[in-house]
Amino acid sequence: MSEEDETVGIIFPLYNEIIERALEENKDVFAKYSRRKLEQGDTLYLYSSGPSGLKNITAKAKIEETTKLKPNKVWERYRDRLFQNKKEFNDYTKDRKNKKMLVLELTDIKELKETVEAPGNMTVAGLYVDKNMKQKIEEKT
C-alpha cells in the first residue's frame, strides 16, 4: 500500500438531527457498530443522512482515542458525552447488547462552512478516507 492509499480517516453517515444536536451540545463521543479500523489522529467526517439529511458531509472531528466496548459499558462511561440520547442509543443497540461497539473520543469537532459531497456511494458501513480523498475534501471546507 502506498502512502497515498494509507487510511487517514472515515466518513460515517448519521442522522442530521443527531449531528446538529451533537454540535450544539458539544458532544464528543461517537459510538457505532463497526469493524472499521481507525487510529488516534485520523479524521472523522460526518455525512448527514436520514429524511432531513443533506446527503453531504457536514462536520468533521479529530479522533483522539478509539476503543471497543459493549453497549452497557459505553453508556456507563460516556452517557453525557455521546452523540445519541438514551432513546436513540437503546433503539440502536437493543438487539446487539453483547456485541462490542467502536467508540471514538473526538476533539476539534467542527461544522463545515460548506457541505461536501461524499466521494463515493455512502453506505451504513461508511467510507475509508485516504490522503488523496482527504485533500479533496479539505480543499472544499
Instruction: Round the average pLDDT of the chain to a whole number and report it.
Output: 92
Task: Output the pTM of the full model.
Answer: 0.91
**pLDDT tens by residue, 40-49:** 999 999 999 9
Q: Given this model, what pLDDT does residue 30 score? A: 97
pLDDT of 28 > 90? The answer is yes
Residue 3 has pLDDT above 70, yes or no: no
Cell digits of residue 1: 500500500
Listed residue (18, 13, 15, 16) closest to 46, CA to CA: 13
Q: Which domains are delineated in the chain?
A: 3-131 (2.30.130.30)
| Residue 1 confidence (pLDDT) | 44
Is 13's pLDDT higher than 50? Answer: yes
Residues 73-125: tens digit of each pLDDT:
999 999 999 999 999 999 999 999 999 999 999 999 999 988 998 887 888 99
Q: Which residues pair with 66 in a beta bridge?
A: 104
Residues 111 and 100: their CA atoms lie apart, in Å, by: 28
